[in-house]
Chains A and B, each alone.
Chain A
Amino acid sequence: MRNARATQLLFELARPGRRSAQLPACDVPEVPLDDLLPAEALSPAPPPLPELSEPELVRHFTNLSTQNMSVDTHFYPLGSCTMKYNPKRNERLASLPGMIDLHPYQPSATLQGLLELLDGLQQMLAEIAGLPAVSLQPAAGAQGELTSLLIAAAHFRTLGQKRTKVLTPDSAHGTNPASAAMAGFDTVQVKSTPAGFVEMEDLAAKLDDSVAVFMITNPNTLGMFDRQIGEIAKRVHDLGGLLYLDGANMNAILGITRPGDFGADMMHFNPHKTFSGPHGGGGPGAGPIAVSEALAPYLPVPVIVRDGDRYELEYDRPQSIGRVRSFFGNVGVLVRSYCYLRTHGPEGLRRVSENAVLNANYLLSKVKHIFPVPQGDRCMHEFVASGARLKSDRGVSAMDVAKRLLDYGFHAPTVYFPPIVREAMMIEPTETETKETLDAFAETLFRITEEPPDLLCEAPHTTSISRPDEVRAARQPVMSWRAE
């Protein structure tokens, strides 16, 4: 139960002299500090951290946790984020001392079980992708994109081709153009049709031999599978370019179709979405990539190699782009992915997608009577409803609806994305929700549209805070607490 008294900051609760940590006495001979380090290197005082007792700390953070909505407590249909259930067995198994208490520079002889697991994960990801070579190193989907684009750049450098552009659809995740810019490419936007598909004429107009990569999300950010994908891949390949698949929406197609089979040369996975790694309040994720045989030599180092029964990390790969992250990547997230994939097996994985798509279509069939879904009656794992009519008729915005949902105990959908739909509400129920939950959500949406606009514009009414003044936060940024 939320504790209304608990609103103070750590720093306001602190009192000099309180202690939580308890350290052992020094068991080696105590030499004066001045003899160990030059005086100019030392700080005159320890950093001014707050001082609290352990019970205060536990209560503080526990009370803070109750001010969050989460998958464990609420339906969380945040489109594009795949907020599915996070299996508890995965948490337990990823925390086994033999999995978590491992140093990244231990001799490989002491890591054989983990390397076997990671190798197994690579093989499963390659199979799901339909692309043979995998790197587990990228720390998140966006870093997977960057890594892949750096691989593309290296590939074209090897071929002696100067390709300066990356194409992205106007419906793309913001990370796509941002990754392209970081990799040193110019981004060119390709138009979408009203249904969110690639406008082929515009693609043809923008595609030439200066294009390195076309980045596509398929199913796209409207939750639609672009049937033109085979033709798109052909056109990109005919001009010597590469097709990148943003794998954010893989939850819709596991075991049903494979990016490698529909023409992608490289892709990333989002294990924190598709393979149930917990989102952690904003991470950690992971962003493993899969690439074609031709691009395999450029993968980041190290890679796992198998020599008979032994697994080793190989660093000597002359064509590799190098590293994008220290050590081996977000291994803890990858162990959870492995557990998830092993729990499902081939049939189970396919059913994940079948039920994710079933739940989304079922919810769409209910929501379309309340909010128009411009893309039509069918979707893959998510869909985008438009609040434009409610906005023009009654002055109630998609954001108002989102906020009011919180009062009814539902997390809001993703709003105002993708940018090609007005008053967009992007809804992704995932396969782990029940029909009753979906029914209740749809009923609540309907009920909200009947409520007075004044009530909605002021929503939420029951959360620990009302709507924050975001303009003030940006104009007069206060980004840390300071003693008065």
Chain B
Amino acid sequence: MGILESLESSGFAVWVRESPSLLAYQLYITLHTIGLAMVVGVSSAFSFRILGVASDMPLAPMERYLRFMWLGFWINALSGVVLFVLEPFKFLTLPVFYIKMLAVAVAVIAVRKIAAQVLRGPAAVRGFEPAAAKTLAVVVMASWAVAIVAGRVGAYSTYIQLQATAAAIVTGVILAIGWAVLGRRVGLAEPKAGSARSIA
């Protein structure tokens, strides 16, 4: 028997899957949700700041929030492993599961670059290429969006997965247009490119 089979049929996995206890499945799914809000929320805030929102706020001290972002990340990595071993073969046959893992990997790499190049280290002190930082910020937000969409639609049939993904992309495009057109007026969107204060 392979390791995944033995994990899937282990006493722990059976208990987590089947017990009505709040410490079984419900604990891991709620942790996965709270961790998601921490990691995606904090890295989105970094991205907004880099894209020009709250541009009077100094960037370097935001480094202190990294530990809370990584706390959220590790809560989700660990709860994610538990949720995975409950039904490993279901996840391994879902294309969106691989898309989600890939999106998470891209987001982690990009946010680590933001941490090293924008928030701390000699590069942050010296200054850096604002355009490169903005690209990283967009990559972080886009990959978390893909990860959330892929994670959520995994609970539905393949047909619905495709349809929901298309619906999410259309909604995202509409929101992005809304941001570009209206956001500027209400002060949510970034100031004009090249603004001296947009990164400091």
A and B from one assembly?
no
Chain A residues within 8 Å of B, Cβ to Cβ: none
